[in-house]
Amino acid sequence: MAVATICTIAILCCPTTLTAQDHKNIVLILIDDLGWSDLGCQGSSYYQTPHIDQLAASGARFTDAYAACAVCTPTRAAILTGKYPARTLLTDWLPSGRWHPQAKLRSGRFLRSLPFEEVTLAEALRAAGYRTASVGKWHLGSEPFSLPQHHGFDVNIAGNGHGAPGSYFFPYQGNWKIPSTGQRVRWNTLPDGEPGEYLTDRLTDEAIKFVEENRDRPFFLYLSHYGVHTPLQAKPDMVARYEKIPEKQRQGHPVYAAMVESIDQSVGRVLESLEQNSLLNNTVVIFTSDNGGFYKATDNAPLRANKGAYYEGGIRVPLIIRWPGVTKAGSVLEEPVTSTDLYPTCLAAAGQPLRPHQHRDGLNLQGLMNGRDSLDRDALYWHFPHYNGHPSSVPSSVIRRGPWKLIETFDPEGLELYHLEEDLGESQDLATDRPQLAKELSTQLAEWRRQVNAQMMEPNPDYDPKAKLPKKGQQKKP
Ligand SMILES: [Ca+2]
């Protein structure tokens, strides 16, 4: 091919004059349901995560990073919009259905797909000349109008409306029961594959292929693994190693541990690919999770509770950022940060102006990471006007201000107050001891709800106090 033709193609493919040397590539690795305590660098001696630990050793690790919600969809929306779930009305997982038709309260109104009015992180980066790919779980809408390709991604591999794969082994098919109707739906996570192929490995192959194909231009790779969400399925040889560990010494299910190890291998392979393509020093790598660990899969101790709950075990997540030239190797940051901060941070990494009207609830972490600044933020907020089937999950709003955390529950109505620096496990409710502070935080939380136009729950005319709330997987047709 003539040089002139190559140049023409390069210009056509890159609408701006960006080069990979001027603007960092971005690899955002989002793990599904990975608990805060489930990495070696987070203190686990059970889970084997040497590559993720190495990533933390070469970048910054956040101790007080939060997911914007305790379940999948809202956190994903927060990452890609820079807005709190309460502001976008994406406050529950999709499709979620009606969990408790006879419960005391009805759910707050919420949306069933990411609105087009939002300029997603992928759209912002694509407008800046980046090639964008979503590899893995989407869960922010479905066919025909709300898949990754409708929200700024040039490439969509395996992303659809489902929150979990049909199977982790090819063929990636499965059945799913619609909670509100009981109807079974059969779906395919990926139509093609090789017999015996494992989904986490396949998505890694696709991610590496994307890196190699785009090594000469800026790219944004959103590697959104289905792992380590249920169904618990892993490669048998790996599972066998964890099964040999005495039960009392296990932090979680052996199959889950093997799923975590596969994720770790994926991270190792992606980093190796970046190195082999001479991109490691020109790429920002972010690793995080969308909510806390699932109660049947892992033990979130020292945190209280699990995915779905508003104690720390539901919302505190691992976050590692490796940004060459910005992060200090092995640094540990204690500032509270949340999912919405990734949007402006990625814009900064791309050398792009911030879009404060879009990422209204997010702050650029660059200055914090290179030690220049602290974040100018008074408090973090959550709002979940829904029931779900996870243990310890209660409809609630939350504010974290400094070391203090107030949980306002709607059913039953109540306030819980914890001092996280002295009581990480949230074992001492101080709301009665510190009524003035509880009231002050409650007022601040209510004012925030008003500002973001948060949807509140309403009394349910079908309320039956004698009806038992169904457990997860036992919900009935309304
Ligand atoms: Ca999740």
Per-residue pLDDT tens digits for 25-72: 999 999 999 999 999 999 999 999 999 999 999 999 999 999 999 999
Q: What's the 308 CA to ligand 1 centre distance in angstroms? A: 9
Q: Phi then psi for 31, rounded to 5 degrees?
A: -100, 145
Q: What's the 290 CA to ligand 1 centre distance in angstroms? A: 5
Mean pLDDT is lowest, of 184-193, 364-373, 452-461, for 184-193
Q: What's the 276 CA to ligand 1 centre distance in angstroms? A: 31
Q: How many CA atoms lie within 13 A of 351 on its CB side?
A: 17
CA distance readout (Å), 172 to 152, 165, 169, 282: 26, 7, 6, 34
Residue 263 belongs to some domain of the structure: yes
**CA-based torsion, 32, 36, 40, 41: positive or negative:** positive
> Quick one: pLDDT at residue 177?
76
CA distance readout (Å), 368 to 154, 284, 355: 31, 15, 19
CATH of the domain at 102: 3.40.720.10
Terminal CA-to-CA distance of the chain, rounded, Å?
A: 64
Provide the pLDDT confidence category of residue 8 given band limits of 50, 70 and 90: very low
**CA-based torsion, 111, 112, 117, 118: positive or negative:** positive
pLDDT digits (tens, 9 = 90+) for 406-431: 999 999 999 999 999 999 999 999 99
pLDDT digits (tens, 9 = 90+) for 296-309: 999 999 999 999 99
In terms of phi and psi (left: phi > 0; alpha: psi -120 to 50; beta: otherwise), the region of 240 is alpha
- Average the pLDDT over 392-417 and give the result: 97
Q: What's the 36 CA to ligand 1 centre distance in angstroms? A: 13
Residue 110 belongs to some domain of the structure: yes
Residue 49 belongs to some domain of the structure: yes
Residues ≥6 apart with Cβ < 8 Å to 418: 404, 405, 407, 426, 428, 429, 430
Radius of gyration of the chain (CA): 22
SS3 163: coil
Q: What's the 247 CA to ligand 1 centre distance in angstroms? A: 26
Residue 371 belongs to some domain of the structure: yes
> Quick one: pLDDT at residue 186?
81
> Quick one: pLDDT at residue 9?
41
Q: What's the 371 CA to ligand 1 centre distance in angstroms? A: 31
- Average the pLDDT over 173-193 and give the result: 82
Residue 320 belongs to some domain of the structure: yes
Buried b (16+ CB within 10 A) or exposed e, 160-177: bbbbbbbbbbbebebeee
Q: How many domains does the chain have?
A: 1
> Quick one: pLDDT at residue 13?
41
Taking the C-alpha atoms of residue 405 and residue 416, their distance in angstroms, rounded to an integer, is 8
Q: What's the 199 CA to ligand 1 centre distance in angstroms? A: 17
Residues ≥6 apart with Cβ < 8 Å to 450: none
Residue 33 belongs to some domain of the structure: yes
Whether 371 has a pLDDT exceeding 90, the answer reads no
Does residue 37 contact residue 43 with C-beta atoms inside 8 Å?
yes
Residue 396 belongs to some domain of the structure: no
Count of C-beta atoms within a 10 Å radius of residue 192? 10
Residues ≥6 apart with Cβ < 8 Å to 186: 166, 173, 174, 175, 176
Q: For the whole model, what pTM was predicted? A: 0.93
Domain range for 182:
23-377
pLDDT digits (tens, 9 = 90+) for 127-167: 999 999 999 999 999 988 999 999 999 999 999 999 999 99
Provide the pLDDT confidence category of residue 469 given band limits of 50, 70 and 90: low
Taking the C-alpha atoms of residue 92 and residue 108, their distance in angstroms, rounded to an integer, is 10
Residue 201 belongs to some domain of the structure: yes
Q: What's the 255 CA to ligand 1 centre distance in angstroms? A: 17
Q: What's the 309 CA to ligand 1 centre distance in angstroms? A: 12
pLDDT digits (tens, 9 = 90+) for 277-290: 999 999 999 999 99
